[in-house]
Structure 1
């Protein structure tokens, strides 16, 4: 069968690539065409647009790049129609993908599957109506989403979380600290990891303050910035030039986290990855007009948390320093807690263990692929179950 997939950022590229591999196990004739990234391309098929040419975040960048976004959307619609796939699979990226879903459903009549639901439970609940109209099946990777959508009479399917799969299947899983430091030309001091986001704007907003916050730890710790996929090394050089003790490593995020004593993490999938690798963390997210942003979040959003760890556990497990709480001093104070207060650190690790139980075991990509393949071939063997 022919599958058309759309992923608009690095995490979507990762999860879509794993889904494609699982589909190929079930469907030996699987043919893929997609908007995505390098990981999807490595599986096989035709990369039509790279996500780095599509990932515009925030009101101003979206407005400034509106023409490019509209051109991408128009091209995508024409490309799907010409390809005539058996299934269209959308991965998060709601602003773009919901428009594609409407076109595909109403104009082409092709089945639409949404893998990794957009976070409409946080805000924009009105989008649920669009999902019900234009998406045939929603596959969820967060267990609490099933109950949320059920309130709107929209049955979705929890398939497990693909980040669990990625952690289980990662390279260098058995690597020791000694091997890691030798391979990277490091010494034996413990590591503090800095994950400042996957987009240029996120990195520019968060990394300078993160570096300033850890500057006092440079003598006793090695400071490693995990370089994001698709970001040029020269972009990082502008920020770490005045912090010679910090190093930037690319394509080693899981290796870095696995060996880190603590991490400063910009909110997103990285907070979940950090927790699954059992690394105490501080969630850091700078916003423009921080006091106004916090007021808007507090009064208009439908969730008390921004990090996946806290959302899954439904309580504060990791400290969220965003908007008006995002300061260098606050980051330093929280980092000191997780590094030096044993009871505080252990409590976070204990809560991580509970989070892993809630998520369930590995196999999300295989379950999602089986669901899509079964539906596309007229079968219906998939059922929701406790993972």
Structure 2
């Protein structure tokens, strides 16, 4: 069968690549064409555009790039019809993907949504578009299933594919000494910095994270560099701060770290599943007014997936005005040096792992997708 897949960021590239691997096990004749990244490319098929060319975040940035965005829509529509897939598989990325769902539905192409947009937190009205244009929705969190049930829309939950990615990761038995040597790091314990995958969020969050570097001289700070971001860009943002960078080694880095500062998003869940105590740091653009408006529109109590899944405060969330040098320092001291505090967070991580249903999700989703197409 022919599969057309669209994702617009690094986490989508990861999950889609694992799905592709499992689809090949189900369907030996699988053909792929996609918008994605290097991990998807490694599974074979034809890449139309890399997500680094399509990742526009924030109202102002979108306005500045409207011409490019419109051109991407036109290209995708034309390319989709030319490929004539058996199914269009959409991975999160709702601003682009919901429009493509409507286009595909109009032209008789079956639409599967793998990894729901976060409409339970923002723009709940989008559920109407999903019900109208998406044939099957596959969810990765239990609370998403409950959300859609409230809207009388049946979905399929198969567990969380992050557990597969973490279980199957390379170098999971690597020693600290070997990791440090191959990345030219010192022997100091590591505090990992996960500042996001888009330029706009890195520009906002990384400089704030770096303010605490001098307060922890016995540690080395290492950035998990996003694969689509150049070293020159990081250098311009970090402005001579004492830190190191590693590319395409987020899991390796976290595994060797004592603690992490993490921008809200999938990375908070990855950090928790790798059992690394963390501080969640979140800053929006647009100043205090836009933040206040946005906060009123949010439908959830927490911004980190760790806390959302467990429906309680497991990791500290430093948001906007609380995301500052003093608060980050205070929380880092807690998770590094207060054993009871650290142990409780690690215990809650174990409960989180159990709540998400264990490994094997990618294979379960691939089987559901293939069986649906067979019918």
CA distance in 2, matches of 1:75, 1:183: 41
- Pick one of 338, 358, 365 that aligns with 1:341: 338
- Residue matched to 2:184: 185
Shift of 1:67: 1.1
CA distance in 2, matches of 1:289, 1:59: 9
- Give SS of 1:229's match: coil
Shift of 1:290: 4.8
Deviation track 1:293-332 (CA, whole Å, cap 9, x = no partner) reads 4433442211011100000010111111122221121111
Deviation track 1:96-124 (CA, whole Å, cap 9, x = no partner) reads 10000001112x11110000000000021
Shift of 1:240: 3.0
- Residue matched to 1:94: 94
- Residue matched to 2:10: 10
* Distance verdict in 2 for CA 1:314–1:290, change over 3 Å: farther
Deviation track 1:32-57 (CA, whole Å, cap 9, x = no partner) reads 01111111111111101111111000
State the TM-score, normalized to the length of structure 1.
0.95
- Residue matched to 1:385: none
- Residue matched to 2:85: 85
Query: 1:284-299 maps to which residues of 2 (within 5 A)?
Result: 284-299=281-296
Query: 1:1-387 maps to which residues of 2 (within 5 A)?
Result: 1-106=1-106, 108-217=107-216, 219-243=217-241, 245-378=242-375
Retained in 2: the 8 A contact 1:268–1:307? yes
Aligned length: 375
- Give SS of 1:126's match: helix
CA distance in 1, matches of 2:355, 2:251: 22
Gaps of 5+ in 2: none
- Residue matched to 1:381: none
Retained in 1: the 8 A contact 2:58–2:285? no
CA distance in 1, matches of 2:88, 2:141: 21
CA distance in 2, matches of 1:88, 1:298: 33
CA distance in 1, matches of 2:303, 2:61: 22
Gaps of 5+ in 1: 379-387
Retained in 2: the 8 A contact 1:294–1:324? no
State the TM-score, normalized to the length of structure 2.
0.98
- Give SS of 1:139's match: strand
Retained in 2: the 8 A contact 1:288–1:323? no
**What is the RMSD of the two structures over their aligned residues, measured on CA atoms?**
1.2
CA distance in 1, matches of 2:168, 2:273: 13
